[in-house]
Chains A and B, each alone.
Chain A
Amino acid sequence: MRGIVFNIQPYSLHDGPGIRTIVFLKGCPLACGWCSNPESQKPYPEVYYDREKCIYDKKCEFCKKLCDINDFSAKRINGDLKGRCEAFRDICPTGALDIYGKEMTVGEVMDRVENDSAFYSHGGGGLTLSGGEPFMQGEFAIEILREAKKRRINTAAETCGFCDREILRQGAKLLDYILFDIKLMDAERHILHTGMSNKLILENLEMLFDEFPRLHKHIRTPVIPSVNDNEEDISRIKKYLEGRNNYSYELLPYHRFGERKYELLERQYGDYEKKLDDSLFERLKSL
């Protein structure tokens, strides 16, 4: 079985117990304007172009046969090619012009993950499946988790919750830990900021609480200026979770580390305040 992976990241410390390796699957049903991984959103490989890294002015002609770099538009190329952009891989010596996303088999993915297994033996580390939304490539995600279990590797997944209920159920059976995002309780504003309603997300979470009482749920809210950086929204989420079992809750501070990647894909970054107010964040954490 094959799927589109856009990164495999060893030495991950903040996404589940122990030292973990994250597998990022490409494609997400939501379209959050603040997304720190814009390259994760489309479900197919995409060409990107980083003008700052490009050395066409230093007589570099390695991509000459493929395109006219002076007139290059990632947006146009991706629109035209719709993922059929393999020719752009490994051409550019600086990595200014390359591809986000690569087709890999379950075996290839898991060999890479198992490579780091020495680090999983202590502290309960293992695989974290992330995205995008990992359960969007549902069968591929399930196969990876199944293979991980077969290789006795601890499993975690990071999900936005917007995914097929049955896939999530199958996934949850194979998971040791789940990281689940809630952005807003308000359905209207959820649609406004993510493009989708939170109805399915909350129902999916209910399902996890109901059917998987032994699965630890780590619920996270990215705090985004002018979206949910207020006491009311955060309190609503906390209140919703109150009294439930086997979960933890964490607020993630907004950052703009992903902003440059928007430029490389010629996409528009959402219109948000530059910076989250530190003291406000501290106050929200202590609610």
Chain B
Amino acid sequence: MAESSVKEYSPQELRIKNKSSFANKRAGRILEGFQGSRPVIDIERGRYFTESFKQTEGQPLILRWAKALYHYAENASVYVDDDQLIAGRAGREGRYGILYPELDGDFLDEAIKSLPERDSSPFDITDEDAQYIINEISPYWKGKTYHEALAAALPEDTVRYTFNNDEEKSSRFIVNETSSFRSSIQWVHDYEKPLTIGFNGIKREAGEKLAALDEFSPVDNTEKKPFLEAIIITADAIILWAKRHAELAEKKAAEEVNAKRRAELLEIARICRKVPAEPADSFYEAVQSQWFIQLFSRIEQKTGTIISNGRMDQYLYPYYEADKEKGLIDEDMAEELLECVWVSMAQYIDLYLSKAGGAFNEGYAHWEAVTIGGQTPDGQDAVNELTYIFLRSKREFPLNYPDLATRIHARSPKRYLYEVAETIKDGSGFPKLINDEEVIPLLLAKGAQFEEAYDYSVSGCAECRMPNRDTYTSPCAYINFAAALEMTIYNGKMRKYGDEVIGLQTGEVEDYESFDEFLEAYLKQQKNFMKHAFIQQHEIIRLRAEHFASPLGSSLHKLCMEQLKDIHSPKIEGGIDLGYFEFIGYGTVIDSLAAIKKVVFEDKRITFAQLKEAMENNFEGYEPIRQLVRNAPAYGNNEPYADEIGKLLDRELLEYTKKYSKELGVHLDLRYVPFTSNVPFGKVVSATPNGRLEYLPLSDGSSASQGADKNGPTAILLSNYATKNYDFRNRAARLLNIKLNPQCVKGEEGTEKLVDFIKTWCDLKLWHMQFNIINRETLIAAQENPDAYRNLLVRVAGYSAYFCELSKDLQDDIISRNEHIAV
């Protein structure tokens, strides 16, 4: 066997060892100014929204939202940063987070006290601002937030799985709703529209529709008219806001002594006067316009995992191509402008107030996905010159912003696949891969037209959206099925919650005579969890429209503008409603069931009572039993024994949603994408039958349990394939983490074999895949000496984060993912 005795390091590892910097780049210099600094809360968004909402009570919600945006645009501080070519930020210098009190502001005053101290994603706040929140913002929202309304609306039985019985109604991490820590699921706009017609064009469109309303119609007067007025006010707001940036840039230019910088500032001013009001006419204008739009969208509402950027290499390409033809731009200039946006993105930090939100999104998670590659609406390959500039930027300036998603299809060009592989080899976790061959047929099956399906954008972590066709924005449930397993073993109870009976009382383990009996009991608990998740969702869909409006987002959606309805409306005709629910702990549950089947019922090595006793003692003093179950067949090894169980669990859930999602009027599809929730979910689950010790993280996404995958990465892919039920259309993303040692991808041959691996993943119609290319010892060294590894990026769950900004629990979880070394 050829094994190298010489250690291989990824480019990222070498950069850290050599202490390289990016100071030779403009964006690199800007980055040095804020990197590693603790994010600070900026209260302006919360303040101006609250001020405005106090003035507009009783008015239609969408109008209130538009007026709040206008009030913000008129009064909020604007910024043009030193050295920057792109103007605009939504908060003070350095890394900042902003407030959305309408969402969960009911415990804002309490939350801000703990934010600086909490383990996951801490924030600082000045005393003055804290006082302002306590005295001016928080009191107004108490009794009015969405979070409170939801807690009050859920049936008592469902609340038991949802919230703890404490004052802030904190999450129980069992059937976990996520709608009260974000006002929409991940979302992406049709950016092409504002780039092409500008917000003056949108105003004209709204104005024409306003003039065409039936002046005698009650619906037109009370629903459509306020909608269109809101669109116009919002367009005015973003235009005003951009103009204020132009004024600031002019002022700065007047004071600037350096002639080169003065010229840059005057150019910024010219552009901000023009876009997003008017169509963009150059690459630079298009990039600035797009940044204003996405930033204003972030101010408008807390889109879960941050508003996505869509297919940037597609809608920006005509501008790049035209400028290049005129000799106005080259690759380096285009890259510099994009990187100026990347460092602006990197300073906006998605602030989650609740402990659950923080724990779900560790390391300041963000998924402002930029999609590249894939196919054109007519089904041809879409890769262009700009696509390669995005990849090059990730290799040359591997910042963790933006989250880069590459669409792969069966005919992706060789150069593209190789450059994707080369970028993965850098080791900072980019890009993630999304598979057209799985996504597109599913979108078609749900009613999309070919041209819409081919043109999907990756949005957020692993979702795929059709910007003018998708209409579902309600955040969905994350379900801890390892808790369902625990309730099956403890007859409805969980050790974490003592004697309280939470789940179904399906019986005591001593009474099961066969594995099938036990499996049946587990499936009852699983179905019961689904019931409560769907009850939650029913109420969530109903309540959201009363609490959230998105005039900006609606103005960028064809169906909303046709029907004059806000995007958060429960039903928009012609829309496809793509929601989901999450299976958290897939590997943990499969392995536990496989262990019980094999060790207790098939081989009869121990009794179920003995296993339970060992679990009750967290396997302390029961090491032989723990070893026995840990070495039972496990998911991720391409072995039918465990995979068949996985497929059955998957199928049962698909059957349920196939039957009941109709009642919700949406597609609520099965998904396996955890964010970082497998860590907090693990913290409520005691020791499991697969030998996992109490309160450690559950398995993540559709990956194998930590350390259970012994047959290498090809087996993980094949197990994923084997556990999927391709006959159902009710499936959504499966997130798959692959950790490889740099030695596996060494040299040109290593790149080739990584491409082979990716192509096979594409053949297998798996949805998503992402890589960490790193030595285990590097992670351990970073944990011991964080200062020297400040820059170390790792792939977490559909995003990359600085390793040293993760909690110890999550760091340990990442270290414990099996690293694959090829023989």
Q: In the complex, are the beta carbons of B631 and A93 less than 8 A apart?
A: yes
Partner of A11, one of B623, B714, B764: B714
Q: In the complex, are the beta carbons of B605 and A10 less than 8 A apart?
A: no
Contacts of A18 in B (CB 8 A): 753, 756
Q: In the complex, are the beta carbons of B753 and A55 less than 8 A apart?
A: no
Q: In the complex, are the beta carbons of A10 and B715 less than 8 A apart?
A: yes
Given A9-B823, A10-B715: A15 touches B624 (CB 8 Å cut-off): no
Question: Which of B1-9, B218-226, B295-303 lies on the face that meets chain A?
Answer: B1-9
Q: In the complex, are the beta carbons of A15 and B760 less than 8 A apart?
A: no
Interface bits B596-608 vs A (CB < 8 Å: 1, else 0): 0000000001000
Scan residues 592-651 of chain B and give those whose CB is less than 8 A from a CB of chain A.
Answer: 605, 621, 623-625, 627-628, 630-631, 638
Contacts of B750 in A (CB 8 A): 13
Is A260 among interface residues, defined by CB-CB distance under 8 A? no
CB-CB nearest in chain A for B715: A10
Q: In the complex, are the beta carbons of A11 and B2 less than 8 A apart?
A: no
Q: In the complex, are the beta carbons of A15 and B764 less than 8 A apart?
A: no
Is A115 among interface residues, defined by CB-CB distance under 8 A? yes
Interface bits B1-24 vs A (CB < 8 Å: 1, else 0): 111111000000000000000000
Contacts of A276 in B (CB 8 A): 5
Per the bound structure, the CA–CA distance linking A276 and B3 in Å amounts to: 13
Per the bound structure, the CA–CA distance linking A122 and B756 in Å amounts to: 5
Q: In the complex, are the beta carbons of B627 and A10 less than 8 A apart?
A: no
Partner of B760, one of A93, A94, A121, A253: A121
Per the bound structure, the CA–CA distance linking A61 and B605 in Å amounts to: 11
Identify the interface centre among B621, B755, B760, B823: most chain A CB within 10 Å of its CB.
B823
Q: In the complex, are the beta carbons of B628 and A93 less than 8 A apart?
A: yes
Q: In the complex, are the beta carbons of B712 and A10 less than 8 A apart?
A: yes
Per the bound structure, the CA–CA distance linking A130 and B3 in Å amounts to: 15
Q: In the complex, are the beta carbons of A119 and B624 less than 8 A apart?
A: no
Interface bits A213-230 vs B (CB < 8 Å: 1, else 0): 000000010000000000
A116 to chain B, nearest CB (A): 6
Q: In the complex, are the beta carbons of B755 and A122 less than 8 A apart?
A: yes
Is B322 among interface residues, defined by CB-CB distance under 8 A? no
Q: In the complex, are the beta carbons of B2 and A15 less than 8 A apart?
A: yes
Scan residues 2-20 of chain A and give those whose CB is less than 8 A from a CB of chain B.
Answer: 9-15, 18-19
Is A48 among interface residues, defined by CB-CB distance under 8 A? no
Per the bound structure, the CA–CA distance linking A61 and B823 in Å amounts to: 34
Interface SS of chain A: helix, strand, loop or mixed?
A: loop
A276 to chain B, nearest CB (A): 7
Q: In the complex, are the beta carbons of A119 and B757 less than 8 A apart?
A: yes
Contacts of B756 in A (CB 8 A): 18-19, 119, 122-123, 125
Interface bits A115-137 vs B (CB < 8 Å: 1, else 0): 11011011101000010000000
Is A273 among interface residues, defined by CB-CB distance under 8 A? no
Given A58-B623, A93-B631: A14 touches B1 (CB 8 Å cut-off): yes
A38 to chain B, nearest CB (A): 13
CB-CB nearest in chain A for B638: A115
Identify the interface centre among A22, A93, A94, A116: most chain B CB within 10 Å of its CB.
A93
Is B744 among interface residues, defined by CB-CB distance under 8 A? yes
Q: In the complex, are the beta carbons of B713 and A122 less than 8 A apart?
A: no
Per the bound structure, the CA–CA distance linking A253 and B627 in Å amounts to: 36
Per the bound structure, the CA–CA distance linking A153 and B631 in Å amounts to: 31
Contacts of B714 in A (CB 8 A): 10-11, 19, 116, 119
Partner of B713, one of A11, A60, A123, A275: A11
Contacts of A19 in B (CB 8 A): 714, 753, 756-757, 760
Contacts of A12 in B (CB 8 A): 822-823
Contacts of A9 in B (CB 8 A): 712, 823
Q: In the complex, are the beta carbons of A116 and B753 less than 8 A apart?
A: no
B501 to chain A, nearest CB (A): 34
Given A93-B627, A122-B759: A278 touches B6 (CB 8 Å cut-off): yes
Is A150 among interface residues, defined by CB-CB distance under 8 A? no
A50 to chain B, nearest CB (A): 13
Q: In the complex, are the beta carbons of B718 and A116 less than 8 A apart?
A: yes
Is A254 among interface residues, defined by CB-CB distance under 8 A? yes
Q: In the complex, are the beta carbons of B5 and A62 less than 8 A apart?
A: no
Per the bound structure, the CA–CA distance linking A61 and B628 in Å amounts to: 12
Per the bound structure, the CA–CA distance linking A253 and B2 in Å amounts to: 8
Contacts of B721 in A (CB 8 A): 118
CB-CB nearest in chain A for B759: A122
CB-CB nearest in chain B for A179: B2
Given A14-B3, A253-B6: A59 touches B624 (CB 8 Å cut-off): yes
Per the bound structure, the CA–CA distance linking A255 and B3 in Å amounts to: 8
A256 to chain B, nearest CB (A): 9
Q: In the complex, are the beta carbons of A14 and B757 less than 8 A apart?
A: no
Is A37 among interface residues, defined by CB-CB distance under 8 A? yes
Per the bound structure, the CA–CA distance linking A130 and B1 in Å amounts to: 9
Contacts of B715 in A (CB 8 A): 10-11
Scan residues 81-118 of chain A and give those whose CB is less than 8 A from a CB of chain B.
Answer: 93-95, 115-116, 118
Interface bits B736-769 vs A (CB < 8 Å: 1, else 0): 0000000010000110110111011001100000
Interface bits A250-263 vs B (CB < 8 Å: 1, else 0): 10111101000000
Interface bits B811-823 vs A (CB < 8 Å: 1, else 0): 0000000001011
Scan residues 712-737 of chain B and give those whose CB is less than 8 A from a CB of chain A.
Answer: 712-715, 718, 721
CB-CB nearest in chain B for A115: B638
Contacts of B627 in A (CB 8 A): 55, 60, 93-94
Q: In the complex, are the beta carbons of B638 and A62 less than 8 A apart?
A: no
Q: In the complex, are the beta carbons of A15 and B1 less than 8 A apart?
A: yes
A124 to chain B, nearest CB (A): 9
Q: In the complex, are the beta carbons of A37 and B1 less than 8 A apart?
A: yes
CB-CB nearest in chain A for B763: A118
Q: In the complex, are the beta carbons of A121 and B763 less than 8 A apart?
A: yes
CB-CB nearest in chain B for A37: B1
Per the bound structure, the CA–CA distance linking A254 and B3 in Å amounts to: 9
Q: In the complex, are the beta carbons of B2 and A220 less than 8 A apart?
A: yes
Contacts of A121 in B (CB 8 A): 759-760, 763
Given A14-B2, A18-B753: A94 touches B631 (CB 8 Å cut-off): yes
CB-CB nearest in chain A for B628: A93
B408 to chain A, nearest CB (A): 13
Q: In the complex, are the beta carbons of A252 and B2 less than 8 A apart?
A: yes
Per the bound structure, the CA–CA distance linking A19 and B717 in Å amounts to: 14
Contacts of B631 in A (CB 8 A): 93-95
Is A36 among interface residues, defined by CB-CB distance under 8 A? yes
Per the bound structure, the CA–CA distance linking A226 and B623 in Å amounts to: 45
Is B37 among interface residues, defined by CB-CB distance under 8 A? no
Is B380 among interface residues, defined by CB-CB distance under 8 A? no
Scan residues 240-287 of chain A and give those whose CB is less than 8 A from a CB of chain B.
Answer: 250, 252-255, 257, 275-276, 278
Per the bound structure, the CA–CA distance linking A13 and B749 in Å amounts to: 9
Q: In the complex, are the beta carbons of A14 and B823 less than 8 A apart?
A: yes
Scan residues 689-721 of chain B and give those whose CB is less than 8 A from a CB of chain A.
Answer: 711-715, 718, 721
CB-CB nearest in chain B for A282: B6
Contacts of A59 in B (CB 8 A): 621, 623-624
B787 to chain A, nearest CB (A): 30
B822 to chain A, nearest CB (A): 4
CB-CB nearest in chain B for A22: B823
Contacts of A94 in B (CB 8 A): 627, 631
Per the bound structure, the CA–CA distance linking A36 and B1 in Å amounts to: 8
Identify the interface centre among B2, B711, B749, B820: most chain A CB within 10 Å of its CB.
B2
Contacts of B760 in A (CB 8 A): 19, 118-119, 121-122
Partner of A60, one of B5, B623, B718: B623
Contacts of A130 in B (CB 8 A): 1
Known: A12-B822, A13-B744. 11 other contacts (CB 8 A): A9-B823, A11-B714, A13-B823, A15-B823, A18-B753, A19-B753, A55-B623, A60-B623, A93-B627, A94-B627, A253-B6
List 20 A-B pairs, Cβ < 8 Å.
Answer: A10-B711, A11-B713, A11-B714, A11-B822, A13-B753, A14-B823, A18-B756, A58-B621, A93-B625, A93-B630, A115-B718, A116-B718, A118-B763, A118-B764, A122-B755, A123-B753, A123-B756, A252-B2, A257-B3, A276-B5
- Tell me the A residues contacting B by CB distance below 8 Å: 9-15, 18-19, 22, 36-37, 55, 58-62, 93-95, 115-116, 118-119, 121-123, 125, 130, 220, 250, 252-255, 257, 275-276, 278
